[in-house]
């Protein structure tokens, strides 16, 4: 039975190719690359800095089915890390006097994304995978489900702490928003280029932007909460407002002089402040009800830049030799 089925399948593919019909095929791929985040700690208005200053890693695999010379679909899983840091993004003289430097938030977030995407090949295939063009461009878009869990470094113990259970903006308390979900939808879209190594292997490079429907990849969204909410949870109080911390914890750098320059640039009568970190709260900065996130209406996003190796999966059943 296997012999007969194999001969029939082989015969059909040979006839399809001889008539000029496209023979569908499948590939399996593995990729590595970078990941970048855009949001409250990496603003869209500074695209180069947001893309490159805090770029992290990504790794993933995919299965792709090529239905026609131009149309394919793939299922993909990517594991990646994104990160943001107010100090790193704003430590230069141009941005040190911004409110984001004084805010002093940071995070990292490990993403686990499963997506289904449609692919449109700008350079069409020929009638079989082994006759595909040497170089080809393509576009892709689809839908993704992403699991995430933002964390920040506890400067007291040196541990990375999960932020969502702490309710850093008062989430879960009366008069505040409910806790945000750790599973979110996203829309992947992007462009790629593929190069044929040989009949069985391709290499591709692509940029894939992810539009999300959450503003909490970085745990920053709305306003500072009333500190009284954290009276019984000193860790939550510590993570909710880090503006008066002396050390930028990820870099281990003293912020005192930077906060002094921030006060001098934004408030009158701050030229001879002896202790700017103690003075900062007296200005009303980071007071309850003031903005902790940049724009509650603007959602977070992330970008993958990846290199993939693709293997052409056998499309024919290997038949045993006739005896």
pLDDT one digit per residue (tens) for the chain, 323 residues: 444 434 444 444 444 444 558 999 999 999 999 999 999 999 999 999 999 999 999 999 999 999 999 999 999 999 999 999 999 999 998 999 999 999 999 999 999 999 999 999 999 999 888 889 999 999 999 999 999 999 999 988 889 999 999 999 999 999 999 999 999 999 999 999 999 999 999 999 999 999 999 999 999 999 999 999 999 999 999 999 999 999 999 999 999 999 999 999 999 989 889 999 999 999 999 999 999 998 777 899 999 999 999 999 987 545 555 55
Closest by Cα among 92, 86, 56, 62 to 74: 62
Q: Tell me, what's the pLDDT at 170?
A: 97
Cβ atoms of 80 and 115 within 8 Å: the answer is no
Q: Is residue 288 part of a domain?
A: yes
Q: Tell me, what's the pLDDT at 296?
A: 73
Q: Which domain holds residue 148?
A: 24-313
- Rounded Cα gap, residues 50 and 42, in angstroms: 5
* pTM of this structure: 0.89
Q: Is residue 4 part of a domain?
A: no
Q: How many domains does the chain have?
A: 1
- For residue 178, count CB atoms less than 10 angstroms from its CB and return exposed for 0-12, middle for 13-18, buried for 19 or more: exposed
User: Which backbone phi and psi does 258 adopt, to 5 degrees?
Assistant: -65, -40
Which domain CATH number covers 179?
2.40.160.20
Q: Is residue 238 part of a domain?
A: yes
Q: Is residue 290 part of a domain?
A: yes
Q: Is residue 43 part of a domain?
A: yes
Cβ atoms of 125 and 22 within 8 Å: the answer is yes
Q: Tell me, what's the pLDDT at 3?
A: 42
What 3-state DSSP class applies to 93? coil
Q: Is residue 10 part of a domain?
A: no
CB count within 10 Å of CB 65 equals 15
Q: Is residue 162 part of a domain?
A: yes
- Rounded Cα gap, residues 177 and 167, in angstroms: 9
Q: Tell me, what's the pLDDT at 240?
A: 97
Q: Tell me, what's the pLDDT at 19?
A: 53
Cβ atoms of 148 and 184 within 8 Å: the answer is yes
| Residue length of the chain | 323
Q: Is residue 254 part of a domain?
A: yes
Q: Tell me, what's the pLDDT at 16?
A: 46
């Amino acid at each position: 039975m296997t012999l007969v089925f194999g001969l029939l399948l082989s015969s059909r593919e040979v006839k399809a190719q001889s008539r000029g019909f496209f023979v569908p095929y499948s590939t399996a791929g593995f990729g590595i690359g970078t990941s970048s985040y855009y949001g409250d700690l990496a603003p869209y208005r500074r695209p180069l800095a947001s893309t490159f200053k805090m770029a992290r890693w990504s790794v993933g695999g995919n299965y792709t089915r090529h239905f026609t010379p131009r149309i394919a679909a793939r299922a993909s899983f990517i594991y990646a890390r994104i990160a943001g840091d107010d100090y790193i993004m704003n430590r230069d003289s141009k941005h040190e006097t911004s409110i984001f430097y004084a805010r002093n938030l940071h995070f990292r977030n490990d993403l686990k994304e499963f997506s289904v995407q449609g692919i449109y090949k700008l350079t069409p295939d020929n009638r079989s995978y082994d006759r595909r063009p040497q170089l080809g461009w393509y576009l892709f878009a689809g839908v993704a489900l992403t699991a995430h869990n933002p964390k920040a470094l506890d400067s007291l113990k040196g541990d990375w702490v999960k932020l969502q259970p702490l309710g850093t903006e008062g989430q879960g308390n009366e008069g505040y928003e409910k806790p945000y979900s750790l599973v979110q939808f996203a829309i992947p879209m992007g462009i790629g280029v593929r190069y044929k190594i040989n009949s069985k292997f391709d290499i591709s490079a692509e940029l894939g932007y992810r539009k999300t429907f959450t503003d909490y990849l970085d745990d920053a969204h709305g306003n500072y909460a009333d500190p009284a909410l954290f009276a019984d949870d000193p860790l939550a109080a510590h993570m909710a407002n880090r503006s008066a911390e002396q050390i930028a914890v990820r870099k281990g750098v003293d912020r005192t002089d930077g906060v002094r320059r921030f006060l001098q640039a934004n408030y009158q009568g701050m030229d001879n402040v002896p202790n700017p970190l103690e003075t900062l709260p007296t200005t009303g900065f980071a007071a309850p009800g003031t903005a902790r996130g940049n724009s509650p209406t603007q959602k977070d996003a992330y970008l993958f830049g990846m290199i993939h190796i693709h293997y052409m999966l056998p499309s024919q059943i290997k038949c045993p030799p006739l005896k």
